[in-house]
Amino acid sequence: MTELSWDALAAQSNGRPALEVLRTATAAFGDRLALASSFGAEDVVLIDLLTQATPAPRVFAIDTGRLHEETYDVMERIRARYGVDIEVYYPQRRAVEQLERSQGFYSFRGSLEERHQCCEIRKVEPLGRALKGLQAWITGLRREQNVTRGGVEVIERDVAHGGIFKLNPLAGWTSEQVWDHIREYDVPYNRLHDQGFPSIGCEPCTRAVARIEHPRAGRWWWESPEQKECGLHVAGAIQTR
């Protein structure tokens, strides 16, 4: 896309309903656009909307090898409901073998550096492969999710991934809006959400939270809030407004 058409795309997307953003993006990028899904509440809403926006949605997932059984279950129910082929990316086998042989099976509990090392091998490297050849990717990021996400905009340039576009159609949505959509359209969702898991990642790094806790308090609960990212969403993206 040229800078001019990018400006037009931004103008047609900022402040617009999520479905409209997705329609604009699918028309602009075609099969060089894909949704990154971990099958949390936001992601299943986006799949529901993306399948309305285009007859050929692309959805990819990173199977870290440490996911909950309930996550595979919702992936299968989404496949059945929407007929989408989920493009699965695994970590590099040799890197995981080396990590587990040399540091064991819970190295991520040892220090922030070791946690980042595990996320790098199991998430960040596969994401890089998934994004190869894309002009834009879609995420379920929302501003209210965490202190690290307060600056999220609907459209950003992802400088960490070669300057491709990163679309966050639910940036301004509240948790209530997400759940209203799921209930209204009977969208399949991860059953862990009914068991006190508002945010779901890898099984050993996610716990249920109490009602009074922040929704992301259960992710890497041994770390402070400003550290709770896995490297998939690097701060510093350039926003269009």
Q: How many CB atoms lie within 10 A of CB 189?
A: 22
Place of tokens 């949390």: 40
Q: Which is nearer to ligand SF4, 64 or 168 (CB)?
A: 64
State yes or no: is 202 an active-site residue.
no
Q: Which residues of 19-52 are buried (b: 16+ CB within 10 A; e: fewer)?
A: eebbbbbbebbeeebbbbbbbbbbbbbbbbbbbe
> CB 100 → ligand SF4: shortest distance, Å?
11
Would you call 177 exposed, middle or buried from its count of C-beta atoms within 10 A (0-12, 13-18, 19+)? Answer: middle
CA distance linking residue 70 with residue 213, whole number of Å? 22
> CB 183 → ligand SF4: shortest distance, Å?
29
Q: Which is nearer to ligand SF4, 35 or 119 (CB)?
A: 119
Binding to ligand SF4 (CB under 6 A) within 199-228 occurs at 201-202, 204-205
> CB 126 → ligand SF4: shortest distance, Å?
10
CA distance linking residue 29 with residue 234, whole number of Å? 22
Stretch that binds ligand SF4, among 42-50, 141-149, 167-175, 198-206 (CB under 6 A): 198-206
Of the residues 118, 141, 164, 200, which one makes contact with ligand SF4 according to CB under 6 A: 118
Contact 121, 95 (CB under 8 A): yes
CA distance linking residue 60 with residue 85, whole number of Å? 9
Q: In 3D, which of 168, 166, 170 has the Cα closest to residue 158?
A: 166
Q: Which is nearer to ligand SF4, 26 or 206 (CB)?
A: 206
Site size with ligand SF4, rule: CB under 6 A: 13
Of the residues 123, 142, 166, 228, which one makes contact with ligand SF4 according to CB under 6 A: 123
CA distance linking residue 35 with residue 11, whole number of Å? 21
Position 230 contacts ligand SF4 (CB under 6 A): yes
Question: Which residues is 165 bridged to in the sheet?
Answer: 136, 157
Name the residue number minimizing CB distance to ligand SF4. Answer: 202
Of the residues 108, 173, 189, 197, which one makes contact with ligand SF4 according to CB under 6 A: 108
Binding to ligand SF4 (CB under 6 A) within 50-79 occurs at 64, 66
Active-site annotation, residues:
230
Interaction site with ligand SF4 (CB under 6 A): 64, 66, 108, 115, 118-119, 122-123, 201-202, 204-205, 230
